[in-house]
């Protein structure tokens, strides 16, 4: 099978790099961390741009990082890429009894609930949230926590219920802001509570909160850049205008560029 031959050739290349290239030879799991993260983000960027040519290249770069980690471990007689592929294959078969077994499920919600149960049985020493890396971006971490809690039925039943909670948390934040002797730590907690609930609203709407915020930030950056360019054509900087003037220009740009 050609795919198998290509993959075997790829693994051999990684083995040769680790054996003969001074840079690759000196790498460790720890030194490769920045590259692993960078390649993952580059793959995400290619997906968001819907650039399949770049995605193919970025997934290859990400695969290289995985193979390098496996080659480092193999050299220490810890595990190999075969062990890694076997472990994930076994896990996927075990966690999908509705595909590889005779378990019947009604919908995606039932699948997620069954997944959480199986995961708990595999790792009884860990809590349900214990397997989520705390180094994840905070918004993404919050949404994953909420999704896992929801998979065992601990969630608001409807979008309306979540919106009610959003309004409740917003009211608590406003109250804290109005407090005469307010403390930064209390404000952080109230704002965090609001952001957390917003990630559950995103979940109920089928939206990834991290991606949603990133799109809004990108839209803001694009519009802000348009504002800068517009004013620079007049030989001026943004600091040369009042807030009212900038706001008027901003609203006009919003009408012209709705997306």
The domain that holds 194 is classified in CATH as 1.10.287.1080
Task: Look at residue 152 and tell me if it is in a domain.
Answer: yes
The predicted structure's pLDDT at residue 84: 95
Tokens of 22: 């001074």
Helices (H) and strands (E) in the chain, counts: 12, 0
DSSP secondary structure letters along 223-239: HHHHHHHHHHTTT--GG
Report which listed range, 100-104, 113-117, 248-252, is most confident.
248-252
Backbone torsions φ then ψ of 236, nearest 5 degrees: -125, 165
Backbone torsions φ then ψ of 238, nearest 5 degrees: -60, -30
| pLDDT digit string, tens, across residues 12-70 | 999 999 999 999 999 999 999 889 989 998 998 899 889 999 999 999 999 999 999 99
Q: How far, in Å, CA of 105 to CA of 97, rounded? A: 9
Do residues 59 and 83 share a domain?
yes
User: What mean pLDDT value characterizes the chain?
Assistant: 90
- Structural domain tally of the chain? 3
Tokens of 165: 């909670």
Give the domain extent around 46. Answer: 2-94
- Once rounded to an integer, what is the mean pLDDT over residues 99-112? 84
Backbone torsions φ then ψ of 125, nearest 5 degrees: -80, -15
Tokens of 141: 């971490």
Residue at which a domain ends, from 61, 78, 94:
94
Q: How far, in Å, CA of 27 to CA of 24, rounded? A: 5
Tokens of 133: 């890396």
78-92, 118-132, 160-174, 212-226, range with the lowest pLDDT: 118-132
Residue at which a domain ends, from 69, 94, 119:
94
Is pTM, for the whole model, over 0.85? no
| pLDDT digit string, tens, across residues 130-189 | 878 888 889 989 999 999 899 888 999 999 999 999 999 999 999 999 998 889 999 999
Residue at which a domain ends, from 39, 68, 94:
94
Residues in CB range of 230: below 8 A, 6 or more apart: 249, 253
Tokens of 82: 């075969």
| pLDDT digit string, tens, across residues 128-141 | 888 788 888 899 89
């Amino acid at each position: 099978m050609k795919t198998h031959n290509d993959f075997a050739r790829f693994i051999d290349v990684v083995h040769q790099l680790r054996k003969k290239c001074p840079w690759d030879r000196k790498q460790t799991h720890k030194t490769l961390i920045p590259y692993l993260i960078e390649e993952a983000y580059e793959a995400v960027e290619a997906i968001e741009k819907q650039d399949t040519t770049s995605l193919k290249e970025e997934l290859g770069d990400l695969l290289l990082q995985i193979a390098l980690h496996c080659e480092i471990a193999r050299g220490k007689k810890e595990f190999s890429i075969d062990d890694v592929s076997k472990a994930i294959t076994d896990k996927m078969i075990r966690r999908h009894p509705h595909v590889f077994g005779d378990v019947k499920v009604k919908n995606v919600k039932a699948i997620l609930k069954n997944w959480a149960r199986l995961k708990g049985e595999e790792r009884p020493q860990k809590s349900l949230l214990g397997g989520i890396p705390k180094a994840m971006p905070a918004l993404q971490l919050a949404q994953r926590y909420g999704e896992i809690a929801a998979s065992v039925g601990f969630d608001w039943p409807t979008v309306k219920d979540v919106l009610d909670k959003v309004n409740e948390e917003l009211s608590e934040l406003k109250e804290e802001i109005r407090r005469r002797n307010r403390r930064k730590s209390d404000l952080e907690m109230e704002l965090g509570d609001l952001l957390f609930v917003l990630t559950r609203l995103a979940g109920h709407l089928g939206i990834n909160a991290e991606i949603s915020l990133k799109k809004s930030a990108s839209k803001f950056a694009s519009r802000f850049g348009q504002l800068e360019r517009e004013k620079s054509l007049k030989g001026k900087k943004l600091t040369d205008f009042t807030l009212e003037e900038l706001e008027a220009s901003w609203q006009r740009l919003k009408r012209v560029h709705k997306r």
